[in-house]
Structure formats: C-alpha cells, structure tokens
Amino acid sequence: MTDPSPYPAVIIQKPQKTAIPLVVSSPHSGQKYFQDFLESSRLSLWELQQTEDRFVDQLFECVPSMGGTLLTTEFPRIWCDVNRDCRELDSGMFKPSLSASGLLQTSKVRAGFGVIPRCATQGRPIYTHCLPLDEVQRRLVASWVPYHQALQNLLYEMQKQFGSVILLEAHSMPRLHQAKSCDMVLGDLHGKSCSPALTECAEHYLSGRGYAVRRNVPYAGGYITRHYGQPSEGIHVLQLEICRSRYLNPVTLQPSRGFEQVKNDIDGLVLELADLACHAFQVSEAAVAE
C-alpha cells in the first residue's frame, strides 16, 4: 500500500473558550489536490473544483470562538467522499476489479458518486483509466477512517459529558431549478435525525434573515446524518445545504459580494444553535464547567 502520510486527513479546530456541545462538520470543503490525482484525471482543475463545498469551512470559522468544535478536511471530496459508507465502492472502476462481496451497490454508486467517486457530475467520468486496486485502501486509510474516528470521538465524548450534542452537517448546493426559489435546505431525515426543536430553531432563524428555506427536499441528509443521528441517545444531527449563488462567483470560484452577508448570518445561526445546545437540551451548568 502507498504510504498515506503525504495526504492530510482532518482538521479539528477546538473551542477557544468554555466548550459547548456543538460540532460543525464541513466534510466537502477541502481544496488540496494531489499531483498524481490531477495527472490521472481527464478533467481540468476548474472542473474538479466545481464539486467542492467551496469556502463552507470559512463561512463557519466563527464556531471555535463561540465554544463549538469545527471539523473540516484538506482533501477534496472528489478524491474521497467521507459522506458515503466506506462500502459504497464501484468494483468496475478498479483493475483488477474489486470483489463485489460486502460492497453496497447503492443508487449513488451506480450514478458514479461512491466513496471514491467515478464521476464529477452526471455522465462526466473523472479518470482516463481504471485505478489500481491499492488505491482503495490508500484513500480510505488516509481520509475516510480518520475523519470518522475524529467525528465519532467528538460526538460521543460530548454526549457523555453533556448528555446531548448537536452536529450541524454543513454543505453547499447548486441553484435548484424549481419554480420557487430556495437558498437553504435543512435535512433531518424527515424528523428522524434530530429533535424537532433543532430544525425549527434553524428554520426560524434563517427565514427571519430573509432566506428561502426548505425542509428535506431535495436533500434529506446523507450518510453522516443517517449514521450519527440518534436523538434518542442525545445525538442530534441536522444537515444544512447553502445555495452557492448566495456567496460564490460561479466563474472565478471566489467569494462573491454576498459572502460577508452570508457569513454574518451564519455567525448568528451558530449563536442560536449554541444557545439551544446549552439550554433547550437541558445541559447543566455543572457539565459546561467541567
């Protein structure tokens, strides 16, 4: 197996003051592209960058200063998508082919969007040739495994200390081509991944700031939301999709004039969720002081 050490995995930004039971995860904001990957791709760097949740980590950079924990990546999602089950692999994109035994042939895999993506967008393959089989272990060991180890440890440590914890799964989305405008989508697996109070808090705040907000359509929550959302055990997970057109220039892929406004509003959202984590979920003062 190729030594994964040159491939950074996760960045954990710890609270800068008294910790609160709030974690923000931005698993798709990584922008570090590795030379061997670029050489194996038929797509340009600009085309690959279209798949990023670009600058979402910067939108949430206030989290540690407010007592929460921010978990991000440096590697891009197009290299390894940690918002997939590690068994969501396309056996045919490797040579020799992977054994299909134990793999999950989900709709995402069939579309080319498994844990190691085959396509950048529908019908646009990434690679010029099949990948070597050892690339599976290389990427999972370097990125998927440490990301989920870090996230699981953060959630369970906070759940043990505080009794409950909020995980906000932060993503970006393209402009939705429906008649009604949409700036944000909140995904709670139709009420299964978190307390209704969390979804209602986020929706009330964002709507009050003038954003058009939808629930669960078309994004109800991905693997991380499904896997970690256990409200009965005190782990509340809410996915947030932010329309890129509100803060990103689609040509230059740099922050647009709307970036600072969205960032300021995200700061306010984090304050609302922090308050909810500490009070509505009945976190004791004694626990906060530990």
Residue whose tokens read 């002081």: 289
Structure tokens at 113: 């969007």
Structure tokens at 45: 């760097």
* Inside any domain, residue 2: no
Q: What is the pLDDT of residue 5?
A: 47
As a whole number of angstroms, the distance between CA 100 and CA 168 comes to 33
- Smallest Cα–Cα separation from 259: which of 50, 55, 65, 71? 55
Range of the domain at 185: 10-289
Residue 169 bridge partners (DSSP): 25, 239
The Cβ of residue 72 has, within 10 Å, a number of other Cβ atoms equal to 23
Integer Cα distance of 182 and 144 in angstroms: 31
User: Each residue of 235-290: pLDDT tens digit?
Assistant: 999 999 999 999 999 999 999 999 999 999 999 999 999 999 988 665 433 343 34
Q: For residue 4, is it within any domain?
A: no
User: Is 3 domain-assigned?
Assistant: no
Residue 140: give its domain's CATH number: 3.40.630.40
Q: Write out residues in the chain with pLDDT < 50, as ranges.
A: 1-5, 283-290
pTM: 0.92
pLDDT in the model for residue 2: 38
Number of domains in the chain: 1
Whether 144 is covered by a domain: the verdict is yes
Please indicate, yes or no, if residue 67 is contained in any of the structural domains: yes
Q: Is 105 contained in some domain?
A: yes
Distance separating alpha carbons of residues 281 and 166, to the nearest angstrom: 9
Burial class (CB in 10 A: 0-12, 13-18, 19+), 241: buried
Q: Is 252 part of any domain? A: yes
* SS3 assignment for the chain: CCCCCCCCCEEEECCCCCCCCEEEEECCCCCCCCHHHHHHECCCHHHHHCCCCCCHHHHCCCCHHHCCEEEEECCCCCCCCCCCCCCCCCHHHEECCCCCCCCCCCHHHHCCCCCCCCEEECCEECECCCEECHHHHHHHHHHHHHHHHHHHHHHHHHHHHHCCEEEEEEEEECCCCCCCCCCEEEECCCCCCCCHHHHHHHHHHHHHCCCCEEECCCCCCCHHHHHHCEHHHCEEEEEEEEEHHHCECCCCCCECCCHHHHHHHHHHHHHHHHHHHHHHCCCCHHHHHC
Instruction: Name the amino acid, one letter, at 97.
Output: S
Residues 261 and 59: their CA atoms lie apart, in Å, by 10
> Does the residue 108 lie in any domain?
yes
